[in-house]
Amino acid sequence: MEIYDYITGLQHIGIPTNDIEATKAFYLSLGFELAFETLNEAADEKVSFLKNHNVIIETYENKKACKINGAIDHICLNVTDIEKVFKIIIKGNYEMLNNEILYLPFWEKGVRFFTILGPNKEKVEFSQMM
């Protein structure tokens, strides 16, 4: 099987922020609703997921937002089998940003993910909700 067979769509778009409350207020004013909120203790970042129909934005307060055009940090692709996708990516000619599959206790059962670098230095995350 190929990577294509495991990708079900865009899971979220990652946007770093210096002010999570202002970012949430902006997207709420556009009709998004707060879907999930947590603290990424490992990175000491407040994290909010905002949803409008099938579009999800993950915003995280890392105090490193560069505030320039094109400053979206990453796109995340939802996959059905993170282990198989990781093996396919390892065999390919991709620039890995993670040497292993990582875990965060987000949502009900957590997520497993890893990230590669695209040709324009964009980050592409592959993620499977557990």
Does 67 have pLDDT greater than 90? no
Domains in the chain: ranges and CATH: 3-129 (3.10.180.10)
Measure Cα distances from 63 to 19, 71, 91, 98, 127 in Å: 8, 13, 35, 22, 24
Reported as a pLDDT band with limits 50, 70 and 90, residue 52 is: very high
Query: In terms of Cα–Cα distance, which of 24, 44, 40 is closest to 32?
Result: 24
The pLDDT value recorded for residue 69 is 78
Q: What is the pLDDT of residues 90-125, one digit of tens each?
A: 999 899 999 999 999 888 899 999 999 987 788 999
> Taking the model in full, what pTM does it have?
0.84
State both tokens at 52.
């409008």
